[in-house]
A and B are shown apart, each in its own frame.
Chain A
């Protein structure tokens, strides 16, 4: 366990609000050690300090890591404006007209947290950092709670003083809080253990909402290059409908090359049973995944379609992590596309947050004919296998030892636990579970938008810290066969998780050193199909 240092003990809320300069300096030697072959600190990648230029340009006074790229306020007017805007947003967060979407859960969390710190024990980032106080789940929640009690509740200024909840809002506090709201993956492991039912993951999201919905401050990968681009161009990848269709043609050819199967992928087919929506990142970064879907659905004779309509070919909905309005806009677009095609249901490809966004959260956005049934592809593929529609031989995967990563959004936040396991057991003979797994899993480290945030030194922070618990799990589950002579596969049925793993594996050299590859679930299924001569999974780093 991390020893409390002088620097740590000084991080009280007054200093958070007022102390100039960088509040915390990350010390990797204090992080929880990893298992072999990364059991020595010098075998790990290092967090790079920000360049002088970036340090001068952007607000980085929390921990020297930057996600938001918020320019340092120069004048007193700018500082004052920051405070005023924040307080205006804070008040709106507790008004039913402005925040009917999450008012009740937020209010309950603000009122009832007993500060027992049970949540702290569940938080991977806090624990892996060696219990660095600013990463404690209740740390940011305590700040928001005090601000709420002082600035939102009736008589707050008086009662805050006598109850000990007094806190002065300063521009420094807001600038630090801005960054701090991007040091939590919203995996909600903390909420799962809370005896009272308070939700510090939600606090992170609500803080991000103040910044985004009131102040227009958010991170580019989620907003400008995320939901805004998606609504404007059609996909957060920047891929417009035309290039998407070209891409599909290319993938059709690639499937033919790899498997010998020649078929057109159903596109914009009105009256199909299913509208299948992938995370569009798959088409560009991991095309073998949508290709595997196409192969399975074609082989099983499923009446489905893809869509080339704006937003209809990209299931991502980044609003789920920072902004209710953006969330609703994208969800409505998805429903509009399905309604236009007249499908019976929408099926979501291997993308965790898209599952949660469209199937669960948007369930209370859709009304009338927009409320089209939504389902996970994990369920669909499992049904196809159970019905015996595919010719499978699990021994075709015998050269690989497989473990399963549970995407938080699919498992803890949606309760889909068994189908993916039934699929793996049907197509692999060598499967082993990580500890813990299922609804008690650890986040990949890329949750809440982290996987797509590639600016400045944030990727290194993610690789060495937010994904650290997952890395430990992966190394532990394969510890007895950790050498490169054994092929090991981390099955991650989620685009964001794969993105986080890609970067983390690359940073640690996991493929070269340990022969551990990551990939989706359907690839394993196609790899077990007896229709093809060659293995489907190409065992190489990409």
Chain B
């Protein structure tokens, strides 16, 4: 097994471990105070106009009336079409949508490559002329989704790069790492596109590479274009967990744990337990109106430091 193959394994492992650690860090943070923001789509019959259960008299005596379907519908619109950008920042959406949709295609492309590689390892050759109907479908889907993905992502990334470079408000707050994130992604997309265009139109070389990876077989010599593509991809896997691009995963928390999190605190329930635990944290804020060093419960009931 060559050095590059080892590095690629490490990059995948690193990517997964770092991402899991980052998400776990967020998930393990203490339950925050309620900070919901309306509209909340799962409010059944109310979500569309921004209403909540607080509109109902004695709401705590009534069963929760929540609609998972409405929430999933809203999530789909937000994840797939980036609805909030479409509604509130249409010009940027023109580039952001193909950029993100292209990447979703590429994520699908990776799954198709892996699936194709598993089939190939099981002896089912993946090609347009295969006798297996499944293999033909996988082959064509991989080519179509992968190629659309590269093109959309390149167009989107270039558009976003131009916005960052020339659009006043965005340009003002853009820092070096914002450019490097986009350039890094653009390099991966362009490398993938060039590989497809020059040496790997059916993605058979890439599929072969994935097959060798998952079966732990040594990788032979690859065309230069594919080698470049894989090196850039490995580098991105090392880089990605440190960037704000992990918002692909972080967005789950901002929406589901904060913005749409409207679970009431019920006596004896999980929330009450978490709150009780946090009230026991010792804080050391230094302002004169705070009992420094005491627990939050003590600070909240402190009568001595009420003089400001």
Contacts and interface: CB of A to CB of B under 8 A. Distances in A.
A439 B36 contact: no
B32 A104 contact: yes
Interface in A57-97: 85, 88-89, 92, 96-97
Contacts of B29: 96, 100, 103-104, 107
A191 B258 CA distance: 11
Contact of A138 (B96, B173, B180, B283): B173
A413 to B, nearest CB: 7
Given A118-B89, A328-B300, A367-B279, A100 B38 contact: no
B49 to A, nearest CB: 6
A367 B276 CA distance: 7
B264 interface: yes
A162 B239 CA distance: 14
Interface string B252-270: 0111011100101101000
A43 B78 CA distance: 44
Contacts of A196: 247, 250-251, 254
A108 B258 contact: yes
B97 to A, nearest CB: 11
A109 to B, nearest CB: 8
A435 interface: no
B250 A112 contact: yes
A129 interface: no
Nearest to B38: A415
Contact of A195 (B33, B82, B290): B82
Contact of B170 (A117, A364, A439): A117
B55 A216 contact: no
Given A108-B258, A228-B306, A411-B50, A371 B272 contact: yes
B273 to A, nearest CB: 9
A96 B302 contact: no
B294 to A, nearest CB: 10
B24 interface: no
Interface string B193-204: 000000000000
B54 A199 contact: no
Contacts of B265: 363-364, 366-367, 371
Nearest to A118: B89
A144 to B, nearest CB: 12
Given A198-B254, A373-B60, A232 B43 contact: no
Contact of B173 (A111, A142, A198): A142
B30 A379 contact: no
Interface stretch (A176-184, A207-215, A391-399, A442-450): A207-215
Interface in B46-87: 46, 49-60, 78, 82, 84-85, 87
A177 to B, nearest CB: 16
Contacts of B89: 116-118, 121, 193, 195
A320 to B, nearest CB: 10
Given A195-B82, A196-B254, A164 B177 contact: yes
B40 interface: yes
Contacts of B216: none
A107 B54 CA distance: 28
Determine which residue in A109, A367, A413 has the highest number of CB atoms from chain B within 10 A of its CB, and name it. Answer: A367
Contact of A361 (B35, B38, B51): B35
Contacts of B287: 212-216
A118 B55 contact: no
A287 to B, nearest CB: 27
A18 B281 CA distance: 38
A104 B46 CA distance: 27
Interface in A339-372: 345, 359-368, 371
A191 B36 CA distance: 11
A197 interface: yes
Given A231-B306, A416-B51, A111 B244 contact: yes
Interface in B277-292: 278-279, 281-290
What's the dominant secondary structure at chain A's contact region? helix
A438 B296 CA distance: 36
Contacts of A117: 89, 92, 169-170, 173
A113 B244 contact: yes
Contacts of B288: 216
A41 B289 CA distance: 45
A325 B39 contact: no
A133 B168 CA distance: 10
A139 B176 CA distance: 17
Interface string B86-121: 011100100010000000000000000000000000
A418 interface: yes
A438 B50 contact: yes
B169 A136 contact: yes
A380 B169 contact: no
A193 B49 CA distance: 15
Contacts of A380: 57
A326 interface: yes
B308 A417 contact: no
B96 A365 contact: no
A67 B111 CA distance: 56
A365 B43 contact: no
B114 to A, nearest CB: 28
B55 A114 contact: no
A193 B308 CA distance: 37
Given A102-B32, A165-B175, A88 B286 contact: yes
Contacts of B84: 118, 193-195
B38 A413 contact: yes
A101 B275 CA distance: 9
A510 B78 CA distance: 42
B285 A101 contact: no
A192 B259 CA distance: 9
Given A100-B281, A412-B50, A415-B46, A325 B258 contact: no
A122 interface: yes
Contacts of B85: 116, 118, 195
Contacts of A331: 300
B17 interface: no
Contacts of A142: 173
A107 B25 CA distance: 10
Nearest to B263: A363
Given A96-B29, A415-B51, A197 B175 contact: no
Given A107-B29, A415-B40, A118 B88 contact: yes
A396 B39 CA distance: 34
Report, nearest first, the 5 A-B pairs whose CB atoms are least far apart: A415-B52, A197-B254, A164-B176, A439-B50, A164-B175
Given A102-B33, A199-B35, A228-B306, 14 more contacts: A100-B296, A105-B32, A108-B254, A109-B254, A164-B175, A194-B84, A195-B78, A213-B286, A361-B33, A361-B35, A363-B271, A380-B57, A382-B57, A417-B51
16 contacts: A85-B286, A100-B31, A103-B29, A111-B244, A117-B169, A117-B170, A202-B35, A216-B287, A326-B289, A360-B34, A363-B264, A365-B275, A373-B58, A415-B51, A415-B55, A440-B50
Interface of B: 26, 29-40, 43, 46, 49-60, 78, 82, 84-85, 87-89, 92, 96, 168-170, 172-178, 180, 244, 246-247, 250-251, 253-255, 257-259, 262, 264-265, 267, 271-272, 275-276, 278-279, 281-290, 296, 299-302, 306-308
